[in-house]
Structure 1
Amino acid sequence: MENDQAVRLEQVSRCYASGSSAAVRALDGITVGFDRTTFTAIMGPSGSGKSTLLQCAAGLDRPDAGRVVVDGVDLGPLGEKALTELRRDRIGFIFQAFNLLGALTAEQNVGLPLRLAGRRPQAAEVRAALTQVGLGERGGHLPSQMSGGQQQRVAIARALIARPKVLFADEPTGALDSSSSRTVLELLRTLVDEQGQTTIMVTHDPVAASYADRVIFLVDGRLTDEMHRPTAQRVAEHMAQLESGAQPVGTDGGR
């Protein structure tokens, strides 16, 4: 089964110092795998460790203990240069705030990762990436000339330009209205279904989570449950139980 997993975390823990008080344990011995060509949502109450899990899985943060494997590569022994190269070549990341450069056009933003890697972007591959997200005709526009949903789709095209093995998304619809959110989520779902793009997304939104194949739930840095074939209602009910401190019932793994 592990060979079918694009990402695997084994007994991963991460603590953060908090001044004079005790260290905060953001992740507490997490073991979880993410199968290739699937869409997984990560949910949990505020402070449950969702973003820390995503950052450790994507090689943006190093755990204090445990093992992270991405596309068959154990990240632990890698030096900073090798880790940077792996992130560049095998990982795409989408942020809530888009992180586009305002002075660059959509085409220039999409091609930027290749330039940073020492490659000259080919106009055809940049156009193809923008066409893939439905913005083939907007390549010459600046971010300020685009809606929030369009900017996020440019950010997705930028993440896809290097053809990553895994696409990570941290609250990708958190800054969007409901219509733009739906467009972005439908795009992510299509990338999984039609192109086999492994996708892992942190979200607080049950509607967003319902687009995933599986939802995993964290509480206090620990994996507590998971749900397969989620619906927005089932996810919302489960989250309400987690946030109230009640023992969640009725997911039975979602199977």
Structure 2
Amino acid sequence: MTRTDLDTAAVRLSRVSRRYGSAPGTDGVTALDDVSLSFPAGSFTAVMGPSGSGKSTLLQCAAGLDRPDSGSVSIGGTPLEGLSQTRLTRLRRERIGFVFQSFNLLPSLTAAQNVALPLRLAGRAPARAEIQGALARVGLADRAGHRPSELSGGQQQRVALARALITRPQVLFGDEPTGALDSATSRDVLRLLRELVDAERQTVVMVTHDPVAASYADRVVFLVDGRVSGELQQPTAEQVSARMTRLETVPC
């Protein structure tokens, strides 16, 4: 990873706040409170925090799935505020990949057909070599004709990853991507994410509750009550676990 890669923000949030349930007569909940963060291109960032700290809201705002009440978000230098819903949808489709805890594969489709889905939804017929290439990137070139029921949980998550990567996104967002996997399979998926960052300079932003998963990242950003509460560079699982323990025992 070059210095230029690290100096270029794939995603930037500037003073972002998001409040829910703020209708007249209600107290509402502040999910994000004046958050400023940047995610360098070609880096792997884990986002952690106690339950209700704003992790999912941060991911949704950073990915353009939710609009903040104030502040700004940019992806690859393009500000999201002011974009029409159509343009925002196109930007997400072209520049962003998503991987979730649930694999969200269509059971009636083969692995290859699931991987091709984002391009078909965008109105483009993918080439067979393109699909095979995406599956090969995640080590499943020989499983193209298998349906989800014929694949293990780890293999299904790899198909979901190939589906997210087929559009060559600038940023890959993961929301607990290893949460439904056993520890050995989780490590396989995390090593794959690490390889994508190291070998292909893929930008990865991952929400997780698992200190071991977070230790695969270049840095861990901690949230508490909707605010950034520090970060760790080149973290170990032990460091992350100790920091989370302190955060979760701090009295309100």
| Smaller-chain TM-score bracket | over 0.9
- The residue aligned with 1:116 is 121
Superposed displacement of residue 246, structure 1: 6.5
Question: Quick one: distance in 2 between partners of 1:31 and 1:219?
Answer: 14
Q: What aligned pairs does 1:159-238 form with structure 2 within 5 A after superposition?
A: 159-238=164-243
Residue equivalent to 1:14? 18
Pairwise CA distance, 1:18: 7.2
Superimposed CA distance per residue, residues 68-89 of structure 1 (whole angstroms, 9 cap, x where no aligned partner): 0000100001000000000000
Please tell me whether residue 5 in structure 1 is matched to residue 9 in structure 2. Answer: yes
Q: CA deviation at 1:21?
A: 4.0
SS state at 1:54 partner = helix
Paired residues of 1:9 and 1:66 also in contact (CA < 8 A) = yes
Paired residues of 1:14 and 1:64 also in contact (CA < 8 A)? yes
Q: What SS does the aligned partner of 1:47 have?
A: coil
Aligned-partner Cα distance in 2 for 1:142–1:89: 26
CA distance in 2, matches of 1:161, 1:126: 7
Q: What is residue 246 of structure 2 aligned with on the other side? A: 241
Alpha-carbon RMSD = 1.5
What SS is found at the alignment partner of 2:195?
Answer: helix
Shift of 1:59: 0.5
Offset of residue 121 of structure 1? 1.0
Aligned-pair distance for 1:22? 1.2
Structure 2, gaps ≥5 residues long: none
In structure 2, the partner of 1:100 is 105
Runs of 5+ in structure 1 lacking a partner?
248-255
User: Could you tell me whether the CA contact under 8 Å between 1:99 and 1:155 is conserved in 2?
Assistant: yes
Following TM superposition, the consecutive aligned residue runs of length 4 or more in structure 1 with deviations greater than 6 angstroms are: none
Distance 1:104 1:98 in 2: 13
**Per-residue Cα deviation, 1:73-106 (whole angstroms, up to 9, x for no partner):** 0000100000000000000010110111111000
| Amino acid across the alignment from 1:53 | L
Asked if 2 retains the 8 angstrom alpha-carbon contact of 1:3 and 1:72, the reply is: no
Change (3 A) 1:147 1:18: farther
The equivalent residue for 2:45 is 40
TM-score, length-scaled by structure 1: 0.94
Letter in 2 for 1:11: R
Q: Distance in 2 between matches of 1:233 and 1:122?
A: 45
Alignment of 1:78-89 (within 5 A): 78-89=83-94
In structure 1, what residue type is equivalent to 2:105?
A: L
Alpha-carbon shift at residue 125 of structure 1 (Å): 0.5
In structure 2, the partner of 1:251 is: none
Q: 1:234 to 1:246 in 2, by over 3 A?
A: farther
Q: Matched residues, percent identical?
A: 63
TM-score, normalised by the number of residues in structure 2: 0.95
